[in-house]
Amino acid sequence: MTPLASFLQDPDFIRALYIAAFACFILGLRLLNHPRTARRGNVVAAVGMAVAVVATLLIESVGDYGLIALGVAIGTAVGVPAARGVKMTAMPQMVALFNGVGGGAVALISFVEYREELELGANPELELLVPILIAAIIGSVSFWGSNIAFAKLQELLPGRPIQLPGQQFVNAALLLTAVGCAVAIAAGAESELLFVVILVAAAVLGNMFVLPIGGADMPVVISLLNAFTGLSAAAAGLALDNVALIVAGMLVGASGSILTHLMAQAMNRSIPNIFAGGFGGVAVATGGAGDGERKPVRSTDASDVAIQLAYASKVVVAPGYGMAVAQAQHTVRELADELEQRGIRVDYAIHPVAGRMPGHMNVLLAEADVPYDHLREMDEINPEFPQTDVALVIGANDVTNPAAREQADSPIYGMPILDVDKAGQVIVLKRSMNTGFAGVDNPLFYNENTALLFGDAKESVAAVLSEVKEL
Amino acid sequence: MPNTLHTPLMSATNAIHGIVLLGGLLLIGAADGFLEKLLLVIAIAFGTINVVGGFLVTDRMLEMFKRRPDPRRAAASSERPPADAAPEREAA
């Protein structure tokens, strides 16, 4: 062996590279906490990952570079176009999908590691088996749970909670099966079949665990599954005796848990509440009870809306997922520009979880070059609604639902909302009378000062814009 | 931290747990049999998708914050829409 090769393959050198990688991860995550440095933080973390991969490839026992290259090539060929091509509106489900494949990788690796241990002949030690089993269960739950989250956000599955009869019982049985088989293996039963049963039970559990959760809570679910995958990677690291996996996995597990908590807090939802199993089923029934006494909704047209806007002095736009889907952000900004030329103050009310993810609206409006100081956070803009002439709700529903403030029996009761109903006039741009993602009816639509403009958000805004120009 | 950055931060930590790809690298040399090799190639591919896709998607999200006009320039630019908004108007 040449001196250079022996230096590069020295375990101490590899350990040093790993430490450099950890430093990059930690620094990167810190930089990601501030808007100005966030992009650099992401690059720094990616560099850390590259260092960790190179260091691992240097390890003497690592071989079969052909197959490694094949796997990396396939992964790159799939991952790069997916990440490049995805629309801004579909970001959340993309993150769910990437999280899922990570969990899947953990489950597969733990299975192969178990097989290798069995092939070695000697009874595998408990300190190896326990992390392998934990990685298998959590990895499999994370893979399938993320796929369901993806399917819900992509609207392949209905966003509303799906309840199956006896679900709690089934979930408990699945968990018992997985844990029971795991205990049997840990106790010395050498059986690949049992291991496969664990993977399958955990897979079904992953499905069952996300299905009953409403679409509005999906960001929190993805964040939690993200933390799960991190922990399972750390467990795999214990089994493989690889410090990089342990440290990076724990880092993700810890920061992911904190983030899950922050997100739940922003929605005023408690985590156990979210996972106690969806809120939509009961909700629709509660909303339906009052339907008989409801006044009909008032629909309006673009020219009326244009007049109301043009003679207002203060307009607040409350954007939501509907704006994202219709890609209406550019047209919205043009309308705002037109109004501002007439001396009308236009602000944007940003609910922390409007859209499908925290920050979703900020990203879209920033893309449309909306001046940053016109984006106002919920707590800041809410006191201004009583002085607002027109609140223009564009494809937002649940985040403007006054039931969250007033109806103690509403499933979203307690969630902070944008007080658009306190504005002089409320104009809601909406595709149809369907309920929002949470599946809850919205009394805002039946208020006397509310008018609805039906249609695709972008087309509606464009129609209003051309009417305003003619005034 | 601002709510706005929750999603990019989640996405970046998401990319970091793709490090499990290293597990595939460590095992594949000793793997024997078609099944084990196949599973590990899939695991490496999954891990790579997680890492590469994760960092790229995060970067695309953060790219949106890059050009944030300061308030004075914003006031000026809101008076006349920049050129890149024009095609959008035609499309509408």
pLDDT digits (tens, 9 = 90+) for A306-322: 888 888 889 999 998 88
Q: Are residues A322 and A373 in the same domain?
A: yes
φ/ψ region of A467 (left if φ > 0, alpha if ψ in -120 to 50, else beta) reads: alpha
Global pTM? 0.73
CA atoms within 13 A on the CB side of A81: 5
* Residue A120 contacts B, CB cutoff 8 Å: no
Boundary (domain end) residue, out of A222, A255, A278: A278
Which residues in chain B are contacts of A222 at CB distance < 8 A? 10
Sequence letter at residue A161: P
Q: Is residue B72 part of a domain?
A: yes
* Residue A301 contacts B, CB cutoff 8 Å: no
Give me the domain span that covers residue A462. Answer: 293-470
Q: Are residues A245 and A326 in the same domain?
A: no
Q: Are residues A340 and A373 in the same domain?
A: yes
Catalytically active residues of A, by annotation? 398
Q: Are residues A448 and A329 in the same domain?
A: yes
d(CA A171, CA A173): 5
Which residues lie across from A392 on neighbouring strands?
A317, A427
The predicted structure's pLDDT at residue A246: 95
| Burial (0-12, 13-18, 19+ Cβ within 10 Å), A161 | buried
Sequence letter at residue A254: A
Contact between B53 and A94 using a beta-carbon 8 Å cutoff? yes
Which residues in chain B are contacts of A242 at CB distance < 8 A? 22-23, 26
**Residue at token pair 């026992």:** A61
Q: Is residue A215 part of a domain?
A: yes
Do the Cβ atoms of A21 and A55 come closer than 8 Å?
yes
Among all residues of chain A, which has the CA nearest to that of B80? A337
Give the Cα-Cα-Cα angle A397, A376, A384 (nearest 5 degrees): 80
Closest Cα in chain A, distance from residue B73 (Å)? 9
Closest Cα in chain B, distance from residue A321 (Å)? 15
Q: Are residues A262 and A363 in the same domain?
A: no
Q: Are residues A224 and A266 in the same domain?
A: yes
Q: Which residues of chain A have pLDDT under 50?
A: 278-293
Do the Cβ atoms of A280 and A440 come closer than 8 Å?
yes
d(CA B28, CA A129): 19
Closest Cα in chain B, distance from residue A448 (Å)? 31
**Rg, chain B, Cα only:** 22
Q: Is residue A274 part of a domain?
A: yes
pLDDT digits (tens, 9 = 90+) for A154-185: 888 887 777 777 888 888 899 999 999 999 99
Q: Are residues A312 and A417 in the same domain?
A: yes
Do the Cβ atoms of A252 and B16 come closer than 8 Å?
yes
Q: What phi and psi values does residue A14 have, to the nearest 5 degrees?
A: -65, -40
Among all residues of chain B, which has the CA nearest to that of A51? B19
Q: Is residue A67 part of a domain?
A: no
The predicted structure's pLDDT at residue B2: 66
Q: What is the dihedral of CA B23, B25, B31, B34, to 10 degrees?
A: 100
Q: Which two tokens stand for residue A447?
A: 């208020």
Boundary (domain end) residue, out of A218, A243, A278: A278
Q: Which two tokens stand for residue A376?
A: 């106002």
d(CA A369, CA A332): 11
The predicted structure's pLDDT at residue A288: 35
CATH number at residue A463: 3.40.50.1220
- pLDDT tens over chain B, length 92 residues: 666 678 888 999 999 999 999 999 999 988 888 999 999 999 999 999 999 999 999 998 888 665 444 444 444 444 444 444 334 333 33
Boundary (domain end) residue, out of A278, A303, A333: A278
Do the Cβ atoms of A104 and A145 come closer than 8 Å?
no
Which residues in chain A are contacts of B29 at CB distance < 8 A? 61-64
- How many other C-beta atoms lie within 10 A of the C-beta of residue B84? 10
Q: Is residue A14 part of a domain?
A: no
Contact between A367 and B64 using a beta-carbon 8 Å cutoff? yes
Closest Cα in chain B, distance from residue A33 (Å)? 6
Name the residue facing B3 among A223, A333, A358 (closest C-beta): A358
Q: Is residue B61 part of a domain?
A: yes
Q: Are residues A341 and A373 in the same domain?
A: yes
Nearest to A304 by CA among A390, A368, A232, A235: A390
Selected residue of B6, B17, B38 to mutate for chain A interface (largest A Cβ count, 10 A):
B17
The predicted structure's pLDDT at residue B86: 39
Q: Is residue B87 part of a domain?
A: no
The predicted structure's pLDDT at residue A355: 77
Q: What phi and psi values does residue A2 have, to the nearest 5 degrees?
A: -70, 155
Q: Are residues A246 and A149 in the same domain?
A: yes
**Domains contained in chain B, number:** 1
Closest Cα in chain B, distance from residue A292 (Å)? 39
Q: Are residues A246 and A151 in the same domain?
A: yes
* Residue A136 contacts B, CB cutoff 8 Å: no
Q: Is residue A86 part of a domain?
A: no
Q: What is the full DSSP assignment across chain B? A: --GGGHHHHHHHHHHHGGGGHHHHHHHHTT--SHHHHHHHHHHHHHHHIIIIIHHHHHHHHHHTTT----HHHHHHHTTS--GGGHHHHHH-
Contact between A101 and B77 using a beta-carbon 8 Å cutoff? no
Q: Is residue B90 part of a domain?
A: no
The predicted structure's pLDDT at residue A44: 97
Q: Are residues A380 and A326 in the same domain?
A: yes
d(CA A363, CA A395): 16
d(CA A7, CA A417): 60
Which residues in chain A are contacts of B16 at CB distance < 8 A? 25, 45, 48-49, 230, 248, 251-252
ipTM value, please give it. Answer: 0.75
**Domains contained in chain A, number:** 2
Q: Are residues A320 and A235 in the same domain?
A: no
Q: Which two tokens stand for residue A300?
A: 């309006």
Contact between A52 and B19 using a beta-carbon 8 Å cutoff? yes
Longest dimension (CA), chain A: 87
d(CA B37, CA A68): 10
Give me the domain span that covers residue B57. Answer: 3-78
What is the 3 state secondary structure string of chain A?
A: CCHHHHHHCCHHHHHHHHHHHHHHHHHHHHHCCCCCCHHHHHHHHHHHHHHHHHHHHHCCCCCCHHHHHHHHHHHHHHHHHHHHHCCHHHHHHHHHHHHHHHHHHHHHHHHHHHHHHHHCCCCCCHHHHHHHHHHHHHHHHHHHHHHHHHHHHCCCCCCCCCCCCCHHHHHHHHHHHHHHHHHHHHCCCCCHHHHHHHHHHHHHHHHHHHCCCCHHHHHHHHHHHHHHHHHHHHHHHHHHCCHHHHHHHHHHHHHHHHHHHHHHHHCCCCHHHHHCCCCHHHHHHHHHHCHHHCCCCCECCHHHHHHHHHCCCEEEEEECHHHHHHCCHHHHHHHHHHHHHCCCEEEEEECCCCCCCCCHHHHHHHHCCCCHHHEEEHHHHHHHHHHCCEEEEECCCHHHCCHHHHCCCCCCCCCCCCCHHHCCEEEEEECCCCCCCCCCCCHHHHCCCEEEEECCHHHHHHHHHHHHHHC
Q: What phi and psi values does residue A317 have, to the nearest 5 degrees?
A: -95, 125
Q: Which two tokens stand for residue A167?
A: 């679900």
Contact between B45 and A71 using a beta-carbon 8 Å cutoff? yes
Q: Is residue A77 part of a domain?
A: no
Contact between B14 and A95 using a beta-carbon 8 Å cutoff? yes
Q: Is residue A436 part of a domain?
A: yes
Contact between B36 and A371 using a beta-carbon 8 Å cutoff? no
* Residue A70 contacts B, CB cutoff 8 Å: yes
